[in-house]
Amino acid sequence: MTPTDRRARERAETQRKILDAARRLFAVEGYEAVTMRRIADACEYTPAALYNHFPDKAALLRQLCRLDFLALAERFSQVAAITDPLDRLAATGMEYVRFGLEHPNHYRMMFLAPPPLPKAASDFQDQGDPYRDGYAFLRQVCSEAIAAGALRHELKDAELVAQTMWAGVHGVVALTLTMADDDWVPWRPVEQRAETIIATLLRGIAAP
């Protein structure tokens, strides 16, 4: 490994530690309440070191969000080779649930907290690319299911089908992350709940 490669690797590792610390703090305390100094303290760097990697808190958050959404899209790519569109749709739903449960702080920032920043042009650079945009992947699967005649004849809107499937699996993840410790409800295993909601939705939209 050359000195240049070593420095690049060290810089990437430092940025990863900063982003991980920021993600935890944002998820627990909220974006507005967290300062760059607080992030620096959490990852045991000086504020100057943070500014050497990110010019401000907004830039840090934008990078954090982009990487997390890319990570979700990467999970979906694992099921892209499934030929049957309904089987692929079911597998996509399960990957979504597993991602949320394996990365709860990612998920809270991505889908359970209101966006703390207005959209910028750079936020749209991956939009529509199914390899880098998880929603685009889901919509593409739904479009292919419609084209294959796998859905009920009245379901011609891929956006509607995608958003309906998304709402179902999001509900499973959101309830688990926010209510799993509540003893009021005798919760069933989350994988079982996820499989049941996906199967139920597919029965509702599939062609007879």
DSSP string, 130-166: TTT-HHHHHHHHHHHHHHTT-B-TT---HHHHHHHHH
CA distance 107 to 35: 21
| Residue 46: Cβ within 10 Å count | 11
List of residues 6+ apart from 162 with CB closer than 8 A? 135, 138, 139, 141, 142
Low-confidence ranges of the chain (pLDDT < 50): none
pLDDT of amino acid 27? 87
Predicted local distance difference test score (pLDDT) of residue 5: 66
Give the tens place of pLDDT for each residue, 87-115: 999 999 999 999 999 999 999 999 998 88
For the beta carbon of residue 83, count every other beta carbon within 10 angstroms. Answer: 6
Q: What is the model's pLDDT at position 97?
A: 98
State residue 1's pLDDT score.
67
- pTM of the predicted structure, to 2 decimals: 0.89
